[in-house]
Amino acid sequence: MIPYFYLIAQALLIPALSPVCIGIIRKIKALMQNRRGPSIFQPYRDIYKLLHKDEIISADATPIFLIAPYIVFATTLVVAMSIPLLGTFLPTIGTSDIIAVMYILALGTFFLALAGIDIGGPFGGFGASREMTISALAEGGLLFSLFALARMYGTTDLLAMPQALITMPTNVSIMLVTALSFFGFSVALLAENARYPFDNPATHLELTMMHEAMIIEYSGKRLALMEWAAANKLFIFITLGANLFFPWGIATTTNILAVILSLGIFFIKMTGFCIAIALIESTIAKLRLFRLPNLLLLSCIASGIAIILTTLIA
């Protein structure tokens, strides 16, 4: 019973914690630009503010536009119950397979893109086109990187992966596989979450914007949900990266103290990821759209090599 309680706790904890991720990244970026920047809790205030604002909806909008925010947000909640954040003991309820998680997130992307087209503005449509292009090409790298891990752990179930970890030896070849697939995963993380070098999350007025272009017509509560869902998605990817590739400090028993301690360690890892993302965004330029496929192919190839290495180990 207790493991199920933790699973439900995750569905509440991830949306509760995700805005801080965005806050940390923004803070570090501000510091790198010699600004003081807003507090790391500013995203919470933004979401709270938006939830209390009135809304303008385009006359062209169909029910797709109206329900898309709920679906996009809900998909992140279902995935939140399918990833190993709190410990190795989480029970699998049949939603935590790597393919299942990828396609649940794809369900959100599908409605996000449709909502972009729905209002008939020129921005939304092109945002949707670019988003679908990038996510189609990123899928291979994401699948291969997670599958390389699955080969090592002997399961494609994300929740079951950390359980297999305890008995796994640490040697050079396993570290090599982890490193290669982690590279593949990081590229997919940046692509799926519309970060540099794929997209600029800080601007609304760049002709190349993707994610912001699709949600440009949203306001009020629905905008809050869209922004919040994006934060959730980033948090989910960081959790996967932190707990599957660097599974140190993950709780192995349902003891509440162990869980809190492991959550503390997770925060350190998460901050590491946020610093890395902020560093990338402060030091490199956004790539041209037609250069992105090369990067995504590279992520796919790196993870592919990792998979071949796992067959050599076995």
The interface with another protein within residues 113-142 (CB under 8 A) comprises 113-114, 117-122, 124-126, 128-130, 132-133, 135-140, 142
Q: Counting Cβ atoms within 10 Å, is residue 78 exposed (0-12), middle (13-18) or buried (19+)?
A: middle
With binding defined as CB under 8 A, does residue 13 bind another protein? no
Residue type present at position 95: T
Q: Closest separation between CB of residue 88 and another protein, Å?
A: 15
With binding defined as CB under 8 A, does residue 104 bind another protein? yes
Residue type present at position 303: S
Instruction: Between 95 and 271, name the residue whose CB sits nearer to another protein.
Output: 95
Distances, alpha carbon 208 to alpha carbons 126, 227, 281, 284, in Å: 9, 19, 16, 16
Q: Closest separation between CB of residue 72 and another protein, Å?
A: 9
Instruction: Between 120 and 264, name the residue whose CB sits nearer to another protein.
Output: 120
Subset of 146-175 contacting another protein (CB under 8 A): 147, 150-151, 154-157, 160
The single residue listed with the structure tokens 């990038």 is 134
Instruction: Between 93 and 202, name the residue whose CB sits nearer to another protein.
Output: 93
Contact 79, 101 (CB under 8 A): yes
Instruction: Between 264 and 293, name the residue whose CB sits nearer to another protein.
Output: 293
Residue type present at position 283: T
Instruction: Between 57 and 265, name the residue whose CB sits nearer to another protein.
Output: 57
The single residue listed with the structure tokens 């990833």 is 83
Binding footprint of another protein, residue count (CB under 8 A): 86
Q: Among residues 122, 126, 120, which one has the least CA distance to residue 60?
A: 120
Contact 20, 266 (CB under 8 A): no
Taking CB under 8 A as the criterion, the residue among 9, 13, 32, 74 binding another protein is 74
Taking CB under 8 A as the criterion, the residue among 13, 30, 32, 100 binding another protein is 100
| Close Cβ partners of 297 (under 8 Å, ≥ 6 residues apart) | 137, 141
Q: Closest separation between CB of residue 140 and another protein, Å?
A: 4
Q: Among residues 210, 213, 217, which one has the least CA distance to residue 196?
A: 210
- Listing DSSP states for 210-240 in one string gives -HHHHTTT--HHHHHHHHHHHHHHHHHHHHH
- Radius of gyration of the CA atoms of the chain, in A: 19
With binding defined as CB under 8 A, does residue 49 bind another protein? no
Site string for another protein, 293-312 (x = CB under 8 A): x------x---x--xx--x-
Site string for another protein, 181-220 (x = CB under 8 A): -----------------------------------xx--x
With binding defined as CB under 8 A, does residue 51 bind another protein? yes
Q: Closest separation between CB of residue 82 and another protein, Å?
A: 9
